Amino acid sequence: MRSLRFLGADRLPHLGILGGDGVRDLGRATPDRQRRLLGGGRLPVDGPVVAVDRWLPPVAANRIFAVGRNYAAHAGEGGHAPPTEPIVWMKLRASAVGHESAVVIPAARAGAVDFEGELAVVIGRAGFEVPPDRALELVGGYTVANDVTARDLQERMPQWTLAKSLPGFCPLGPVLVTADEIPDPQALHLTTRVNGEVRQSAPTADMLYSVATLVSFLSGLVPLQVGDVIETGTPAGVGWHAVPRRPLRPGDVVEITIEPIGTLRTRFVAAAA
């Protein structure tokens, strides 16, 4: 199933299912419905077809784990050796926004805001100390993430959470694709475009630590919970390591495509004067 969350006519979060005839509005996006969807349950698709005005993140994230330097070429463009175990930090879930959002580049961060196209994994079944060969059983679905980063803060601060959690710095979407439709998360391809120009293009097979390895690794440390999101790292091509640097500017549109999930589009804007 391809599901989404959006602001309904009642201005509350609704759950939608994307099908051949458009988006069907299933009503309120409750925790119970999300749990059933992520757990592999089929929801009755019987609501009216609606036009989505405002997209929300396709999942109400429980926690957002993010993984650094998980593609060798990206570690290399930053001058780093591939890590010897996954580098993990937390992204504040308050920074999560949906498809077609406008994200403000704070005036103090001008010239330092960058994109990172990533595959995001959503946990659908709780698990603790799960071996790699069982780890994909915990995955409920997948979406696309832009791990937006203030590079000046990232370079200045030893902990990356704040640099990557400014308001709107976690676009997710457009939809959640349930895990039954993506049997092999290492067989996907990620493409990031800025104003239509391809800036990142890599197969997810290039991940140093596969989705199964990352889920197993995290579950070996903390019990994973339904609704946890894991951003799996970005390939080479980010703006900060281009020569010369190419930070995001107001007016830039970043589109990250991973089929069969689709394209997550985000517009970057200047802070209101």
Which residue has tokens 């709107």? 168
Q: How far is the CB of 216 from Zn ion (least distance, A)?
A: 20
**Binding Zn ion by CB under 5 A: which of 200, 216, 232, 234?**
234
Q: How far is the CB of 74 from Zn ion (least distance, A)?
A: 9
How many residues at the interface with Zn ion, by CB under 5 A? 3
The rounded Cα 211 to chain-centroid distance in angstroms is: 13
Site for Zn ion in 24-43 (CB under 5 A): none
First to last CA, the chain: 42
CA atoms within 13 A on the CB side of 65: 24
Choose one: 22-30, 74-82, 183-191, 228-236; the region binding Zn ion (CB under 5 A). 228-236
Q: How far is the CB of 232 from Zn ion (least distance, A)?
A: 8
Phi, psi for residue 216 in degrees, rounded to 5: -65, -45
Task: Answer whether the bond into residue 31 is a cis peptide, omega within 30°.
Answer: no
Site for Zn ion in 114-173 (CB under 5 A): 116, 147
Query: What CA–CA distance (Å, rounded) separates 169 from 151?
Result: 12
The rounded Cα 25 to chain-centroid distance in angstroms is: 23
- Give the residue at shortest CB distance from Zn ion: 147
Choose one: 3-11, 72-80, 233-241, 255-263; the region binding Zn ion (CB under 5 A). 233-241
Query: 147 or 228: whose CB is closer to Zn ion?
Result: 147
Query: What CA–CA distance (Å, rounded) separates 229 from 213?
Result: 15
Q: How far is the CB of 61 from Zn ion (least distance, A)?
A: 15
- Give the binding site for Zn ion (CB under 5 A): 116, 147, 234
